[in-house]
Every structure is written in structure tokens, then in C-alpha cells.
């Protein structure tokens, strides 16, 4: 009878692998063998492993990389290192990388047995003793949290503009929370009881933008069966938030400029203008200066919009705010999905703080939602997507010269044209003389 424990052995030395396997099988353990880190990853993916035993010094990708990978992708699995180069610094490094213990070569069967039992015991103790933390929310605005310096610069500007109707342009990458900033300006100021109208300019077809923004009168065009107000009229006395302003058509940009300058708009088909009293907040994740150079955005409108500018920092530049954001999302979605408050382990939080977050706060929110659904009460490393965890980049040893690649491709094209050099030259977009030279 075999024990339930499956042990993966990783070493480029076949003799050591065979020795380990014989010893462990005599102790009634089931073993898997791998001579490289790449082979070990395939086994980890396809088999349930209870204990990893690995050497450190291996060609290509070493065992330290495997430890780091396994510590995040398989955090509950104990890891035992066998090394022939013991040192204090080396021991600290492997423990830091996730190993529960290490054994020095050469070793006896009894030393191996004790080390394996200790690794299982420490792995179990490590699992039981994991503490959890719950991040606290802190911030001036209900939907915004943060304590970082860059976050403070944003809230400082919000405080300065919230009680006036100066036009504001909010810039930032997709997912950074530009609409939250706009809502904070509106709802924290003295105009909070007035309407807040949010418009995604990119979601409105270009031929409908003018009528949607400014309204229309009955008979202005086919299908206009009644008078209808636009977004400007709907936001009267309050705030009109124009997201993705860079996607507005040039015709609408012209009318926007007049609306901002004269504080009046005219409906499509109307002969007279209407006064409007609103604050306009625009947002963009594109470079409007480049759009101006490419004649896709009016320069005069740009300067009219940028009375006050707010640059919302990407999440990678405010990583100290990640625990606060995580705490906010855990409270929000823990109640929604699990009807209770959840916690997150320090290891999982550390991975979240390390990841660069190209999708910014929106991506973090999505990850926390998924983790809560997958979690049994405490969000741990295993509940996080693999893309966030440590990855091993295997060196590519199959690089080929440009000449070899070109030769292979030209031959492939000739095979496709059944040796017709004229057709091959057309596909390659070179003349026949050049092709003949290459064939030589």
C-alpha cells in the first residue's frame, strides 16, 4: 500500500534521482521524477503533488526559480531543497523563496526520511498558522480610497474645484477611475443636489451625437416626432460629465465650444438658442495634443476644456493604496456574493501589490470579484489568477539568423507558387532580379 502523498523529485543528476526514488518508494511514498524545471512544471500541472523535492544548481532555469513559482502557484505544497552547496546566505535565499526546509548532500536514508516528515509537518503548520488581514478604507469621498502622495494631489484639486463651475479635464489611463473623480467633484460640493449626467461620447454614433447632446425640435429630421431635450438641458444647474471626449465629432466639438463660451445651446432644427447653467467635466484616456496635430480635435476647444486639469495616476504609481482598494472591494463584493465580510491573506495581498496592473483599478476590482467567488472565506494565493503569480521565462535556445529565416521563407513562397519565380517575386514584393540573386 502506498501512502497518499505524491512526491515530485527534480534534479538534473540521474543518479541522485534514482537514489531518492528508491529511498522514498521503500518508505511507501509515490514519486514523480523530473530532470529539469520545465519537465517539473508539466508534472505539477497534470498531477496532484503533496511535496516538492528539488535541487538548486541546474542548467538553464535553476531550482530557485521553481521554488518561487511553486510558492505562489501551489502555496499549500511543502518544498524541500536538496543542495550540495550549503551556506547561510543560500539557506536564507531558499527559505525566502518558499522552501520549508533543506537537506545537504550527501545524506543517509534516515536523514531523508526525517527531512520529508519535517517538511510535511512544517507545511501543515504553515497552512494552519497563516494569519489574515483586512484592509481598512480611508478617504474623503465614498467611492475613492487612498493615502498615497499621488492620490493626495488628485483630492487636493477636487477640494479646490468642487464649489465652483470651472471646466475640468480629467486625464488618465483606462480603468483609473476618472468618472469617480468627476462624481467626487460633483457630490462633495454645493451643487450636489443638482443633476449629474454622465455621457460616454464613444458610445454614441457620430450621426446622433448632435441631437443627443443638444436635443431637437419636432420635424428637425425624419423620426423627430416631438421636441426633445439633450444632455445639456438635462444637466441644467448641475454637472455634465463627458467621458472619452476625444471621440466627439468635429461638428459636435464646434457646438461644444460655443456652449462653453456663450453658456447657450441650440437644439437641432431650432432657430433660437437656450441659456444653460452647467458645469462641464470632460475626461480622456487619449493624448489630445496628438489628436490636435492630426486635425481630429479642435485646439480652441482643448484650451477651453483645460481650465483645470486633473491627472489621475495609474495604479502602478500608487501601489501603497492597493490594500485600501482591496479592502473596499472585499467589503462591497463579500456582502454581495457571500453575504458576509471576507479577509485576505498577507501572501495574496503581497502578490496584488507586486503586479503592475495594466488595467488599473478596474482590473483590480475584477480580480477581487473573482477571488471572492472562488474563496471559501479567506482570499489566499490559490484564489488569484495565475497571471498575477511568479512566472518562469525559459531561455530560448532556438534563435536563428536572419539569413536562415529569409532563406526558409523564400523557399516556402516558391513551393507555394510551384517554382513560378514571377509569382513568387510578386508575393515577396521584390523584382525577379533580386529573387535570382537571393536564390544564388
Q: CA gyration radius for the chain?
A: 32
Residue with cell 473596499: 328
Cis status, amide bond into 106, omega within 30 of 0: yes
Residue 435 has φ and ψ, to the nearest 5°, of: -65, -40
Partners of 282 in beta bridges:
169, 242
- 285, pLDDT greater than 50: yes
Residue 390's pLDDT band (cuts 50, 70, 90): confident
- 381, pLDDT greater than 50: yes
Task: Write the burial class of residue 306 (CB in 10 Å: 0-12 exposed, 13-18 middle, 19+ buried).
Answer: middle
What is the predicted pLDDT for the residue at 86? 57
C-alpha cell at 247: 471621440
Residue 289's pLDDT band (cuts 50, 70, 90): very high
Averaged pLDDT for residues 214-228 = 86
Least confident range of 161-165, 361-365, 395-399:
395-399
Task: Write the burial class of residue 51 (CB in 10 Å: 0-12 exposed, 13-18 middle, 19+ buried).
Answer: buried
- 42, pLDDT greater than 50: yes
- 344, pLDDT greater than 70: yes
What is the predicted pLDDT for the residue at 338? 84
Residue 321's pLDDT band (cuts 50, 70, 90): very high
Q: Is the pTM of this model over 0.85?
A: no
- 386, pLDDT greater than 80: yes
**CATH no., domain 402-439:** 1.10.10
Angle value at C-alpha 302, between 163 and 294, nearest 5 degrees:
155
Residue 54 has φ and ψ, to the nearest 5°, of: -135, 150
Residue 221's pLDDT band (cuts 50, 70, 90): confident
C-alpha cell at 255: 457646438
Other CB atoms within 10 A of residue 326 CB: 25
C-alpha cell at 152: 493626495
What is the predicted pLDDT for the residue at 88? 47
Strand 51-55 relative to strand 264-265: parallel, antiparallel, unpaired? unpaired
Distances (CA, A) of 123 to 29, 68, 77, 181, 292: 17, 16, 7, 45, 60
pLDDT tens-digit readout, 400-424: 778 888 888 888 888 888 888 888 8
- 72, pLDDT greater than 90: no
Task: Write the burial class of residue 334 (CB in 10 Å: 0-12 exposed, 13-18 middle, 19+ buried).
Answer: buried
Least confident range of 111-125, 183-197, 291-305, 311-325:
111-125
Among the CATH numbers 3.40.50.2300, 3.30.930.10, 3.40.50.300, 3.30.56.10, which is that of 6-128? 3.40.50.2300
Residue 91's pLDDT band (cuts 50, 70, 90): low
Q: Does 149-312 match 6-128 at the fold level?
A: yes
pLDDT tens-digit readout, 113-168: 998 998 888 766 555 544 444 333 344 576 788 889 999 999 999 999 999 999 99
Domain extents in the chain? 6-128, 149-312, 316-388, 402-439
Quote the CA–CA distance of 380 and 301 in Å, as a whole number.
49
Least confident range of 24-38, 249-263, 284-298, 401-415:
401-415
Averaged pLDDT for residues 312-331 = 93
Averaged pLDDT for residues 275-294 = 94
**Cα atoms in the 13 Å half-sphere on the side-chain side of 39:** 14
Q: Is there a contact between 230 and 213 (Cβ–Cβ < 8 Å)?
A: yes
Quote the CA–CA distance of 151 and 146 in Å, as a whole number.
6
Report the mean per-residue pLDDT for the chain: 87
Long-range contacts of 87-96 (CB under 8 A, 24+ apart): 90/56, 93/64, 94/56, 94/64, 94/67
Query: CATH fold of 149-312, please?
Result: Rossmann fold (3.40.50)
Please, which residues have CB within 8 angstroms of residue 434's CB and are 6 or more apart in sequence? 425
Quote the CA–CA distance of 104 and 111 in Å, as a whole number.
10
What is the predicted pLDDT for the residue at 102? 77
Residue 75's pLDDT band (cuts 50, 70, 90): confident
Residue 254's pLDDT band (cuts 50, 70, 90): very high
**CATH no., domain 316-388:** 1.10.8.60
Distances (CA, A) of 167 to 118, 222, 281, 372: 66, 35, 6, 39
Amino acid at each position: 500500500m502506498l501512502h497518499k502523498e505524491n512526491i515530485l523529485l527534480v534534479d538534473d543528476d540521474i543518479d541522485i534521482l534514482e537514489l531518492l526514488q528508491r529511498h522514498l518508494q521503500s518508505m511507501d511514498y509515490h514519486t514523480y521524477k523530473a530532470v529539469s524545471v520545465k519537465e517539473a512544471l508539466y508534472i505539477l500541472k497534470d498531477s496532484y503533488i503533496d511535496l516538492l523535492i528539488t535541487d538548486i544548481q541546474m542548467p538553464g532555469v535553476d531550482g530557485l526559480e521553481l521554488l518561487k513559482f511553486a510558492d505562489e502557484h501551489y502555496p499549500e505544497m511543502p518544498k524541500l531543497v536538496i543542495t550540495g552547496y550549503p551556506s547561510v546566505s543560500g539557506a536564507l535565499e531558499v527559505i525566502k523563496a518558499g522552501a520549508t526546509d533543506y537537506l545537504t548532500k550527501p545524506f543517509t536514508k534516515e536523514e531523508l526520511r526525517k527531512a520529508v516528515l519535517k517538511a510535511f509537518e512544517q507545511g501543515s503548520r504553515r497552512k494552519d498558522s497563516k494569519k489574515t488581514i483586512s484592509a481598512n478604507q480611508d478617504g474623503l469621498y465614498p467611492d475613492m480610497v487612498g493615502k498615497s502622495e499621488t492620490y493626495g494631489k488628485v483630492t487636493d484639486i477636487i477640494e479646490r474645484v468642487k464649489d465652483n463651475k470651472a471646466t475640468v479635464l480629467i486625464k488618465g489611463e483606462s480603468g483609473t477611475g476618472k468618472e469617480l473623480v468627476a462624481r467626487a467633484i460633483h457630490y462633495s460640493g454645493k451643487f450636489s443636489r443638482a443633476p449629474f449626467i454622465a455621457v460616454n461620447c464613444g458610445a454614441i454614433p457620430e450621426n446622433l451625437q448632435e441631437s443627443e447632446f443638444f436635443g431637437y425640435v419636432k420635424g428637425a429630421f425624419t423620426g423627430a416626432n416631438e421636441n426633445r431635450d439633450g444632455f445639456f438641458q438635462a444637466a441644467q444647474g448641475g454637472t455634465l460629465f463627458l467621458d472619452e471626449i476625444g471621440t466627439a465629432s468635429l461638428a459636435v466639438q464646434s457646438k461644444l465650444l460655443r456652449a462653453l463660451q456663450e453658456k447657450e445651446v441650440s437644439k437641432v432644427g431650432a432657430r433660437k438658442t437656450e441659456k444653460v447653467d452647467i458645469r462641464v467635466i470632460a475626461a480622456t484616456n487619449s493624448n489630445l495634443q496628438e489628436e490636435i496635430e492630426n486635425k481630429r480635435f479642435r485646439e480652441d476647444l482643448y484650451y477651453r476644456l483645460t481650465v483645470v486639469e486633473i491627472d489621475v495616476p495609474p495604479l502602478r504609481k500608487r501601489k501603497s493604496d492597493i490594500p485600501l482598494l482591496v479592502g473596499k472591494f472585499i467589503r462591497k463584493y463579500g456582502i454581495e456574493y457571500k453575504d458576509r465580510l471576507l479577509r485576505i491573506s498577507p501572501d495574496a495581498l503581497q502578490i496584488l501589490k507586486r503586479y503592475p496592473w495594466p488595467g488599473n483599478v478596474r482590473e483590480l476590482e475584477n480580480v477581487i470579484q473573482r477571488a471572492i467567488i472562488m474563496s471559501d472565506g479567506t482570499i489566499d494565493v490559490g484564489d488569484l489568477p495565475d497571471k498575477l503569480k511568479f512566472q518562469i521565462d525559459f531561455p530560448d535556445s532556438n534563435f536563428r539568423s536572419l539569413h536562415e529565416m529569409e532563406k526558409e521563407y523564400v523557399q516556402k513562397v516558391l513551393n507555394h507558387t510551384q517554382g513560378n519565380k514571377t509569382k513568387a517575386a510578386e508575393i515577396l514584393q521584390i523584382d525577379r532580379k533580386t529573387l535570382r540573386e537571393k536564390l544564388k
